[in-house]
């Protein structure tokens, strides 16, 4: 079958998942009595960034394969086209976060406190944040989010439109594909620059004194592995329902190889970022890892266990990448693992109960116009003193966090399945379709 029907049972399941997520978000909001609802807003930011990134990397890799004249993925490309359409939802969610920065609904970002940028108030003045204020400010956050994610969505809709026009054209001529390739090639450099800039804003600036030149690579790799996991799960599910009869074990084997390879690549980036910061021993940078190792050891070491050790050991054997049960197990665990990865990127910087956090939205209060090295040393000591603090929804994900993840996942799949129902699952007029059907390792 090439015409997908979005069944009532599937709609009910996804709506049920969304209902669980909504209930968990509401419960999180009203369960807090202080901290400007830090748990609610950090959960909302966490899941919005995670699923918006999955949609973005689905489009990015689609464009990369198209530009590289790849053919093997053609039979399944409708899935990535559908995933990319979630970008409009992600844009709305991230604009809500941006509105919160403008209207002071939340204190997720230390740099949003404008009193820290006033040199006439030496007791609060933060020279480091003042130096970054041309980039870390509410205007660039809001306008940048609108322009960047809006641009991604424009490319996603245009590329999908050309692809669907190719289906309706009734011909396998190269005309449509040539236009598609031009749009894909144009998107790649735009995506490369803009994704780095916006992830610095959305996530890295939560720990506003910290920076890493490898952070954009690291987060994009995490997004891509998550997209691969969702792709494998979606394809196996649809195949079990009688769709994608032309999808073979070789296609799934290739996806399994990508999952294996990019799990190792993600680990390489994790190690490189950690090693460079450890070797430099710059207090302004090392405080990021010191906090996570000492105050959040379950998050820190669990991240490596789920996202490297598990896929490495299970997928190392060639045969496991052709077994549906193994692929499903690894994909579910690693998808959750990279959601966990973003949790540990965001939550320690937001946690209003961590030892070194002051009164500025749960961030380490150091470097305000005097001896920065002294402040960092004080922050490290303070972190160590309070390392035993446990904050629900911050130290490790709680039931409300998992429920919120389920809700966002249900929304993502609802959007994707609705898009899949609007076109044939297999692009039969794509000039590389025949090559994809005869794909062999």
Q: 174-229 pLDDT, tens per residue?
A: 888 899 999 999 999 999 999 999 999 999 999 999 989 999 999 999 999 999 99
In this prediction, residue 256 carries a pLDDT of 94
Would you call 168 exposed, middle or buried from its count of C-beta atoms within 10 A (0-12, 13-18, 19+)? exposed
Would you call 390 exposed, middle or buried from its count of C-beta atoms within 10 A (0-12, 13-18, 19+)? exposed
Q: What is the C-alpha R_g of the chain?
A: 22
In this prediction, residue 352 carries a pLDDT of 66
DSSP per-residue letters across 38-105: HHHHHHHHHHHHHHHHHHHHHHHHHHHHHHTT--TTGGGHHHHHHHHTTHHHHHHHHHHHHHHHHHTS
Spatial separation of the C-alpha atoms in residues 95 and 117, rounded to whole Å? 24
Instruction: List the structure tokens of 439.
Output: 């794909």
Beta bridge partners, 364, equal 357
How many residues are there in the chain?
Answer: 441
DSSP per-residue letters across 249-279: HHHHHHHHHHHHHHHHHHHHHHHHHHHHHHH
Residue 359's contacts (CB-CB under 8 Å, 6 or more residues apart) are 365
Q: Which of the residues in the chain have pLDDT under 70?
A: 1, 33-35, 170-172, 352-389, 439-441
Q: Average pLDDT, whole number, for the chain?
A: 88
Spatial separation of the C-alpha atoms in residues 431 and 177, rounded to whole Å? 7
3-state secondary structure of 20: helix
pLDDT in tens, 362-412: 444 444 444 444 444 444 444 444 444 678 789 999 999 999 999 999 999
In this prediction, residue 171 carries a pLDDT of 67
In this prediction, residue 33 carries a pLDDT of 57
Instruction: List the structure tokens of 394.
Output: 């911050």
- The CA-CA-CA angle for residues 40, 43, 47, to 5°, reads 145
In this prediction, residue 204 carries a pLDDT of 96
Query: Taking a C-beta distance cutoff of 8 angstroms, is the pair 340, 303 a contact?
Result: yes
CA distances from 98 to 106, 185, 190 (A): 10, 30, 22
Q: Enter the DSSP assignment of 394.
A: T
> pTM of the prediction?
0.91
Spatial separation of the C-alpha atoms in residues 418 and 318, rounded to whole Å? 34
């Amino acid at each position: 079958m090439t015409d997908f029907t979005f069944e009532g049972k599937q709609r009910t399941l996804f709506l049920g998942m969304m209902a669980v997520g909504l209930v968990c978000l509401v419960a999180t909001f009203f369960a807090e009595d202080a901290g400007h609802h830090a748990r609610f807003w950090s959960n909302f930011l966490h899941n919005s960034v995670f699923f918006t990134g999955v949609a973005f990397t689905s489009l990015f890799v689609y464009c990369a394969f198209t530009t590289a004249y790849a053919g093997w993925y053609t039979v399944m490309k409708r899935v990535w086209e559908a995933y990319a359409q979630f970008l409009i939802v992600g844009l709305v969610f991230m604009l809500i976060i941006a509105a919160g920065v403008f209207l002071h609904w939340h204190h997720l970002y230390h740099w949003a406190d404008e009193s820290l940028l006033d040199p006439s108030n030496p007791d609060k003045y933060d020279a480091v944040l003042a130096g970054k204020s041309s980039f870390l400010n509410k205007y660039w956050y809001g306008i940048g989010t609108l322009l960047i994610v809006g641009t991604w969505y424009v490319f996603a809709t245009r590329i999908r439109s050309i692809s669907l026009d190719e289906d309706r054209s009734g011909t396998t001529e190269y005309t449509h594909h040539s236009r598609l390739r031009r749009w894909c090639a144009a998107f790649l450099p735009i995506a490369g620059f803009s994704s780095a800039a916006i992830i610095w804003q959305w996530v890295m600036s939560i720990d506003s004194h910290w920076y890493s030149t490898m952070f954009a690579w690291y987060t994009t790799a995490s997004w891509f592995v998550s997209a691969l996991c969702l792709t494998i799960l979606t394809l196996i599910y649809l195949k079990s329902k009688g769709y994608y009869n032309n999808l073979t074990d070789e296609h799934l084997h290739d996806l399994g190889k990508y999952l294996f390879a990019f799990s190792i690549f993600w680990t390489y980036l994790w190690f490189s970022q950690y090693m460079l910061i450890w070797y430099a021993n710059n207090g302004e940078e090392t405080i990021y890892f010191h906090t996570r190792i000492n105050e959040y050891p379950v998050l820190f070491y669990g991240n490596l266990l789920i996202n490297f050790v598990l896929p490495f050991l299970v997928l190392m054997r060639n045969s496991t990448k052709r077994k549906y049960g193994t692929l499903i197990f690894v994909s579910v665990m690693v998808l959750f693992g990279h959601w966990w990865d973003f949790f540990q990127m965001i939550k320690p910087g937001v946690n209003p109960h961590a030892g070194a956090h002051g009164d500025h939205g749960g961030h380490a209060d150091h470097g305000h116009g005097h001896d920065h090295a002294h402040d960092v040393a004080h922050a490290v000591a303070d972190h160590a003193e309070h390392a035993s603090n446990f904050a629900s929804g911050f130290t490790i994900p709680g039931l409300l966090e998992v429920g919120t993840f389920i809700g966002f996942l249900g929304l993502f799949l609802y959007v994707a399945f609705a898009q899949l129902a609007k076109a044939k699952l297999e692009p039969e007029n794509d000039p590389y379709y025949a090559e994809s059907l005869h794909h062999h390792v």
